Structure 1
Amino acid sequence: MSKRDYYDVLGVERGASADEIKKAYRRKAKELHPDRNSDDPAAEGKFKEAGEAYEVLKDAEKKAAYDRFGHAAFEGGMGGGGGARPGAGGQGDFASAFSDVFDDLFGDFMGGQRGGGARQRAARGADLRYNLRISLEDAFSGLKKTINVPGSTVCTACSGSGAEGGAEPITCPTCAGMGKVRAQQGFFTVERTCPTCSGLGQTISNPCKSCGGAGRVQKERALSVNIPAGVETGTRIRLAGEGEAGMRGGPTGDLYIFVEVAPHKLFEREGNELHCRVPVSMATAALGGDIEVPTIEGGRSRVKIPAGSQAGRQMRLRGKGMPALRGGARGDMFIELAVETPVNLTTRQKELLKEFDAESSDNSPESSSFFSSVKSFWDSMKG
């Protein structure tokens, strides 16, 4: 059976560019793959035919020979630039063709790099997390704090190279510095981490005795950290280059400080606002008066209580809340009145309250309105 024209197989014109040929083969490889055409017994043959065509047309010398002599260019030892001829029964050339497209589609995803050559495989150090708990007062004013961070630092004995005496590592002979090795499995090329260098691309013949060849050692460090005013729970502070040291001279990771503001005995925080629940006596709430309330900076503010204030009433103290994290104005503080019922009454106090109660039929409008509504409700139920 005569072979089909390679250009017809891929569906391109004879003057197609290398990029057009590659795109055409991509489409054909996806369209004709046996896994997607399990019900078509001819699919595998068509799939191999497309690979054979691409193997020739992707190579400038083979393509020139094919354009001049057709399929005869690869029969009887004629031209073609050497190598196994297409359709010779083996699958080395076809696998190579499919590998090119596989690299093009998935190489970046798998961290691969086409074109050969050694890559810098020194691994970046891991980022570290430090949980810091501070008081609300510290969140208000900001603070400078020294923290102890466990982690790894660059080995001073080998200057981070991992080799004894600071000698340079050598390129891994197994993967040629790529950090990955490839194995052919049928039509696919599978890429795995190099077992010799563990993906670093380099090996050390004489590892440093201090760090065992890692280029870093475990050590706790003391760091001075500036916590800005206005931070709140969940604030994240990044210290670049203060994380784990990299493997064999790789860049250092970062340190992330996660701030948690502890609950306060007097104040509750909502964003930049503060809330303070202040108990007042029944007499003060009824008659009115002045009270002193605390502020977060440790001072006092005088607040005037209007006569007849009810429990739960709120009053605003402008500019007495928390500062904004990035230099904005301070929020407000809200005072919530908690009218306190007296306890442990003396005999005289009880007598006075009874007298007051007897004279206070018109002094509790909310109570009168409530019980009036209750009476109406009960009457309607009877009806």
Structure 2
Amino acid sequence: MISQPTGEAGRIEALDMLRGFSLIGIFIANMLVFHSPYLYMDPYTWFESNGEGIPFMWIDILVEASFYPIFAMLFGYGLSMQYEKSLLQKSSFGPIAVRRMVILLVFGLIHAFFIWSGDVLFTYAVMGFLMIALVRVPPKWLFFGALALYILPLGLLTGVTYLGERLMGGASLAEFADIQQITQSVEVYGHGGYWTAFLFRAKEWVLISGLNLFMTPFMILPLMMVGAALAKWKVIERAKELKGRLLVIGISTLVIGYVLKATPFLIGPDYSLQLVQTFFGGPLVAAGYVALVLLLCTVPWVTRVFRPIAKAGRMSLTTYIGQSVIATLIFYHYGFGMYGKVDLMTGTLTAVGIFVVQALLSDLWLNRFKMGPIEWVWRIGTYGTILSNKKEKRHDLS
């Protein structure tokens, strides 16, 4: 039997709502890199010296490292749903899933080299190949295996970093700032042409992807595994039934997560505390956000009012790549050349404004079409046939 893509009737709106919610958070976090040499600075001293310490603190606690875990979990959730669907249809899962990951990998390379070096699609595709096998594992093994794979190595890394800082006599690794790279970033992205930016972006991507490929088996893969386990337990589909548990999980993980994420501000920006913030505070806050969004999605008027966010989430690939295209055109010299010229609040409000427009346009687009344009290309490559993307008009026969 030939597997077919999921139709509109088979979609879960809360899943799309979570994707849309994660995309706005990811964009706000990414905006720091789009408009400034964030990768090469110590943001705690940089923004404090610029009088932007308070805005950075709120972005760091509420947003940074708390939205990509949601997207990673949803990636595993969706892949597990596709696997379960193939079992029901008695169709082949592996070959189709492999084609999906190959195409996603190609999208990632195009995105990384020609648009923005901070791409995550390539990384997701590489981890996705592993998930094709792991989605077959029972949910308890997936969930607790993911916790072990995440906590043990990242906890060890954090502990070793802490000991290293103590041996250095209290000197903080967080004081590092690569002045040469900051200057080069401003020169290339703020004043250089597209070809200059292309070469610098390629070098950046090689460095970033090299670090990512070392870290993602411990940072991203476990999150995908958790998502796959939650899909097998149908947590999103059972949100109304699980209201009490979701409320307890949402409040407790947010409180603990916010405390952990605030440690660099409460104690000091030691690098070990930044790792605690990112590795442990971020995913806990993400879990809290997921629980609270699922609770809100059980309220009918909330889903109606915020439906455009779900539509942007349904077009997540188009939305994500579109954000990179728009942001680089605003900030890079071959666009409007605003790199290094905006403050944190302006950058954040710009991200929110762009996403609002994207959500409204996604709503309009999906009134006429079945899926986003990039999703459509992805489906064509996956199933090897040109599928009509235009919705058929319904005629009133009464």
Task: Provide TM-score, normalisation by structure 2.
Answer: 0.19
Question: Which structure: greater helix fraction?
Answer: 2
Question: Which structure: greater strand fraction?
Answer: 1
| Higher CA-based Rg | 1
